[in-house]
Amino acid sequence: MTAQQGMFIEDLEVGMEAEFEKTLSTSDIESFADASGDTNPVHLDDEYAATTVFRSRIAHGMLTASLLSTILGTIMPGPGTIYLSQSVRFKAPVKPGETVVAKATISELQRERRRAKLTCECRVGDTVVLDGEAQVMVPSRAG
């Protein structure tokens, strides 16, 4: 694997897994709001967020989900991988300053179609905050 080329479909096996960990800062949340245009005050306004069921600001769910993209595009399978689909279930909020551990595990391979299916999960401590499934297209050595 290089900076320009990740794993090939021939390198993958069911059960392989990869993780990525990131502490989501207030700055990360504000940058995501700027990039996405999602300025919901539950993410950006302490006073407003205090009146919600969460009692404080929370990170955008899609910011948390984007950590899965980090795994797929940079770690496993890595550069050259093309995202085809992602299902996501948001199970618990992530608050500023919390550390999210994202994990993807290969659950199915279709080598002839260059496809991999992965189960995905994000946790804060022992709490699953997000789960789902991704499907990607993976480069082949055969071209």
Report whether CATH 2.60.120.10 matches the domain 9-25+60-137: no
* Domain residue spans of the chain: 9-25+60-137
Structure tokens at 90: 């948001």
Burial of 1 per CB tally in 10 Å (0-12, 13-18, 19+): middle
User: Taking the alpha carbons of 89, 92, 97, 101 in that order, is the dihedral positive or negative?
Assistant: negative
* Residue 2: per-residue pLDDT: 67
* Residue 5: per-residue pLDDT: 82
User: Taking the alpha carbons of 95, 101, 102, 107 in that order, is the dihedral positive or negative?
Assistant: negative
- Give 53's Cβ-side CA count (13 Å radius): 2
Cβ-proximal residues to 130 (8 Å cutoff; 6+ apart), any chain: 61, 64, 65, 88, 89, 90, 91, 120, 121, 122
Predicted TM-score (pTM) of this structure: 0.93
Based on C-alpha coordinates, what's the Rg of the chain?
17
pLDDT digit string (tens) for the chain, length 143 residues: 666 789 999 999 999 999 999 999 999 999 999 999 999 999 999 999 999 999 999 999 999 999 999 999 999 999 999 999 999 999 999 999 999 999 999 999 999 999 999 999 999 999 999 999 999 999 999 87
